[in-house]
Each structure stands twice: as structure tokens, then as C-alpha cells.
Amino acid sequence: MNEKNKLFIFSTLGMAIILFWLITASKCSDQNSMSQGIISKEKTITNYERFCAGCHGMFMERFSGDDREKLFNTPLKDMVQVIAEGDLESGMPAFKGTFTQEEIESLSRYILTDIKESSKTHNYQPTLASVQKSEKLTFQIDTVVTGLDIPWGMTWLPDGDMLVTERNGQIFRFRNGVFIATIEGVPSVYANGQGGLLDIRLHPQYAQNGWIYIAYSTLGTEGPSAGGNTAIMRARLSNNKLVDQQVLFKATPDSRAGVHFGCRMVFGNDGYLYFSVGDRGYMQNAQLLTNHAGKIHRITDDGKIPADNPFVNTPGAMPSIYSYGHRNPQGLVKHPQTGVLWSHEHGPKGGDEINIIRKGLNYGWPEISFGINYNGTIITPDTAKIGMEQPVYYWTPSIGACGMTIVTGNRYKGWENNILSGSLSFRYLVRTEIEGEKTTHHEILLPQIGRVRNVEMGPDGFIYVAVETPGLIVRLIPID
């Protein structure tokens, strides 16, 4: 064979190879040239249920309205990237070390096709019967407020009007369930991920001094590039406007992470204000006394530091710290009889905790934990260490504990002195019986009502439950 014929054959063969590659690549292209590894539907569903549904819900209930629409219109390549690499601002962990590339792509398609289609017919409204029978009493669900998005905090003025904070930065005023006004003068909030307008509380002597306390996330001095953290302010209400505003506290360090802001507030028997700040997505913060994150703090009602705070004389320590080693406490209440502070906090994947908060103690995160990372990796092999507190109780799997109250009064026979905790992940309310400082029994209430964000005892002696997706507030009325 002469050189000319050889060149022709090799050139033809080369062109055929290139043409075959182009045709094959074109056929394999799936929206954004994703690979088509064969992953069974059963495997993909199992991965979603095990690693995704706890935070996002089986039908992406975590998202609502325009956010859900935006999610389902995400380009496939972008969905693959966020699952693989994670996202700092939303708190999404990276799964590239947990799943293969093919599994990530299959999971992305499942979200953007099957779940998207199922979401069109899924009823995101609660379908509970209006009358519920629990282990110890029967009660009716009375819907008080509807049309909300993510209600976070609830409190009542002396005239009975309810103030409700929306995480997006609004405060609404309701009278007997009827909308009265949107409160003006709300501080600018850093509404990023889990951050925004959070808890709201009245001063114990509100009738005399008129102070309202508001927890919210706000940007630091460096602006959006550095992110923000949790702040506490107080103000008075005049003609549905916040006046006499005073910022009492601003947590550091700032972070662009969209997770773990805390924040619940409660006034203790000592008259001081206690409140929680999450670790802001950087777990090591919780063990460092040189920052505010991953702690429960105590200040006076005007923002000063109590002289007997446990770390006032510790060099470099933040003087407002009351306890540390917390991940993201979103429940904080004072026992009405004993004055003891009870709290619950989000664990990672497993290990949500109920704790009794005491001065100067270390609650262990992340040195000890009953949970693992969301992507399945191990955080710590230890569940106990000397010098670190054990939880009174822990949930595995995590329920996504948010909102907490202790049942008082005589309306709820058999529930007296019980703790009520909301569940974001499983969309229900948990009733916990306690004896002294131990839990003895748990019961699930309101199954599938929605992502329970808060629960409070109202001044009328009834239990109020705030739910997101759908955004509403219900009242539980005993009928026994």
C-alpha cells in the first residue's frame, strides 16, 4: 500500500471516529450534556429519602410559592453543581464525597421531573380532622390566622392583639384573628437562608415601660461581602410604628452562611434577657469563647452585661456568654414554677437535643454529638466527654426542633407541666412529659400539619401553633 492510500484511509478513519463521537455525544446530551449512568429509580428515591427529605420534605415542602417554582426551574447543570459542591449561603452541604457523579445527576433529574410533577397535585395544606384525640385529651383545631409565609415569633399586647413576625422582615398585628396593621419601622434584616426577622418578646413590665424585644439577623459593618449575624433590639410601639429603637446586641463573627442564627429569647426570673445564637454553620465556633456563635447569652434589659456572668473575667471571652457548645438552639423557655431554663437545639443528621441550661456549662457541640453530617460523614465518634453536658433527651432521627413552650394553666387536663416542641422536618408537634428534670414520655400531635415553627401559651390560656408552608396559626381548644 502506497503512502497516498495510507493517508486516505487514516484520514477517512479519523473523520469516521470524530463523526461517531459527535453523534454519540449529541445523543447522550441531557439538557446540559450530563452523563447517562444507569442508576435505578429505587436507588435514587432511597437517596432522596435518606439524605434530602429530612430538610426539604418529600415534595419539597421546605420551599413555598415562588421559591418552589424557582427551584423546579433550575437548569439541570446548576442542580448537579449545588448538590455536588454545596452552597454556603443556603447551608447546603456538598455531596460529591457521598454520591457518584451518576447518582448526583440521577438525583437532580428526579427532583426536576418526578418531584416537580408530583408537587403539582400534592396538597400542601394540612388535611387534619378538626377534632383530634390525643392520649390524654381531645381537642379541636381552630385556625386563627391564614395567609402567612414563614411566621417565626408570636407575642400578645395587653389589649389581646397578637404580633407576628414574618422571617422576610415584617411584623403583623392581628385582633381576634383579623389583620389590623403592618408594623412600621422594622429594622433592616439580613433575610438570608434561615436568617431574617426572628423572635419577639414583651418586657415583663411592658405595661409600665412599653419595651418590645426583637431578634433578627443583620449585616455587619463590611456589608454583604462579609454577611451578617444575629442582633437584639428593643423599641416601643406607637401608632403601629416602632419608635425609641435601641440595638442592644450584635453577634460576631459575621458570615455569609445562611444557617444557624438561633434565635429564641426569654426573660429569666432574675429579670435578665436570655437568647440563643447558632454556630452560623461553622461548628468550631461553638467551643470558642472569643466569639458569640453557638452560645446562649444573658444581658440586662437595657443591654448591659450582668456582673456575675460566668466569663466576665475570662481574658478574650465574650462577656455576654451564659453557656456554650450549642449548635442551633431554636427553643428556649423558662419553667413557670422552678424558673429553670429549658432549651432544644438542632442536631445535624440525628441528635436534636433537649437541654437544661445552666451558667457557664459546655454542652459539647461539636466535640460530642449523637448525629452525623447531612452527607453521611462522621463529625465525632464521641457522644460523651468529661466536662461536657449530656442532653436531657435527644431525637434520632432529627425532628428539626423549633419553637418550645411549657403548658400552664388548667385548660389542658393531663398536659400540665408538659413541654411542647415543634418539628420542622416531620411536620408535627411533640408533647413531652417531664418529672423534675427528666423526660418520661413523648407523644406526637397534629401529624402532617406543616412545618411547625413556633408554639406559645397565649394570655387566654390556649396553645397557639405557628406553621409554615402553609403559613398559618392555629389554636388548640380542649373539648373534653
Q: Are residues 139 and 245 in the same domain?
A: yes
pLDDT tens per residue across span 71-81? 888 899 988 89
**Would 348 be classed as within a structural domain?**
yes
Angle, helix 101-110 to helix 76-85, in steps of 10 degrees: 130
Choose the final residue of a domain: 91, 124, 157. Answer: 124
Q: Identify the CA nearest to 111 among candidates 52, 29, 36.
A: 52
Q: Which of 110-124, 141-155, 179-193, 322-336 has the lowest mean pLDDT?
A: 110-124
- 287: helix, strand or coil: helix
What is the number of domains present in the chain? 2
Q: Is 173 part of any domain?
A: yes
Task: With CA atoms as reference, report the closest residue to 57 among 470, 434, 347, 454.
Answer: 470
Q: What is the 3-state secondary structure (H, E, C) of 416-443?
A: CCCEEEEECCCCEEEEEEEECCEEEEEE
Looking at the domain assignment, is residue 289 inside a domain? yes
**Per-residue confidence (pLDDT) for residue 64, from 0 to 100:** 67
Quick one: average pLDDT of 334-345?
97
Cβ neighbours around 179 below 10 Å, total: 12
**Domain annotation covers residue 180:** yes
Residues 316 and 292 in one domain: yes
Sorted by sequence, the CB contacts under 8 Å of residue 250 that are 6+ apart come out as: 218, 220, 229, 230, 231
- Structural domain contains residue 116: yes
User: Looking at 85-89, 200-204, 381-385, 465-469, which range is the least confident one?
Assistant: 85-89
CATH, residue 56:
1.10.760.10
Of 124, 139, 172, the residue that ends a domain is: 124
Q: Give percent of the chain with pLDDT exceeding 70.
A: 90
Helix (H, G, I), strand (E, B) or coil at 70: helix
Active site residues: 260
Cβ partners under 8 Å of residue 55, min gap 6: 62, 374, 400, 425
pLDDT of residue 27: 37
Predicted confidence (pLDDT) at residue 17 exceeds the cutoff of 70: no
Residue 126 φ/ψ, nearest 5 degrees: -65, 145
Among 70, 103, 124, the domain boundary falls at 124
- CB atoms near residue 394 (< 10 Å): 20
User: 250 and 144 in one domain?
Assistant: yes
Residue 89 or 33, more confident: 89
Average pLDDT, the chain: 90
Question: pLDDT at position 44, please?
Answer: 86
Residue 121 confidence (pLDDT): 80
CATH of the domain at 284: 2.120.10.30
- Taking residues 194-212, report their average pLDDT: 97
Q: Is 449 exposed, middle or buried (0-12, 13-18, 19+ CB in 10 A)?
A: buried
pLDDT > 60? residue 46: yes
* DSSP output for 104-171: HHHHHHHIIIIIHHHHTT---S----SEEE-SS-EEEEEEEEEEES-EEEEEE-TTSPEEEEETTTEE
- Whether residues 407 and 445 share a domain: the answer is yes
User: Does 228 or 63 have the greater pLDDT score?
Assistant: 228
Query: Is 262's pLDDT higher than 50?
Result: yes
pLDDT of residue 5: 42
What pLDDT shows up at residue 286? Answer: 98
- Res 427 pLDDT > 50: yes
**Is residue 166 domain-shared with residue 119, that is, in the same domain?**
no
Question: Do 50 and 72 share a domain, yes or no?
Answer: yes
pLDDT, one tens digit per residue, over 101-135 is 998 898 889 898 888 888 888 766 767 789 999 99
Residues 60 and 150 grouped into a single domain: no
167 has a pLDDT exceeding 50 = yes
Categorize the per-residue pLDDT at 30 as very low, low, confident or very high, splitting at 50, 70 and 90. Answer: very low
**Cβ–Cβ contacts within 10 Å for residue 340, how many?**
15
Q: Convert the pLDDT of each residue in 134-161 to its tens digit.
A: 999 999 999 999 999 999 999 999 999 9
234/86 same-domain check? no
Tell me the C-alpha to C-alpha distance, in Å, between residue 57 and each of 128, 138, 243, 305.
Answer: 18, 28, 40, 41
Q: Which range (11-15, 101-105, 394-398) has the least confidence?
A: 11-15
**Whole-structure pTM value:** 0.87
Q: From the CB of residue 448, how many other CB atoms can be counted at a distance below 10 Å?
A: 12
Please, how many CA atoms are within 13 Å of residue 240, restricted to the half-sphere of its CB? 15
Q: How far apart are CA 227 and CA 255, in angstroms?
A: 5
Task: Please state the rounded mean pLDDT for residues 378-397.
Answer: 97
Percent of the chain with pLDDT over 90: 72
* Confidence (pLDDT) at 183: 98
Q: Is 3 contained in some domain?
A: no
Domain that holds residue 101: 37-124
Q: Is the pLDDT assigned to residue 37 strictly greater than 70?
A: no
Alpha carbons 478 and 462: distance in angstroms, whole number: 9
341 found inside a domain: yes
If you write DSSP's letter for every residue of 380-430 in order, what string do you get? -S-S--TTSPPPSEEESS---EEEEEE--SSSSTT-TT-EEEEETTTTEEE
Name the residue with higher pLDDT: 265 or 53: 265
Question: Are 254 and 309 found together in one domain?
Answer: yes
Statement to judge: residues 281 and 183 lie in one domain: yes
What is the model's pLDDT at position 20? 40
Query: Do residues 266 and 296 touch, judged by C-beta distance below 8 A?
Result: no
Does residue 189 share a domain with residue 93?
no
The answer as to whether 350 is a domain residue is yes
Residues 105 and 174 in one domain: no
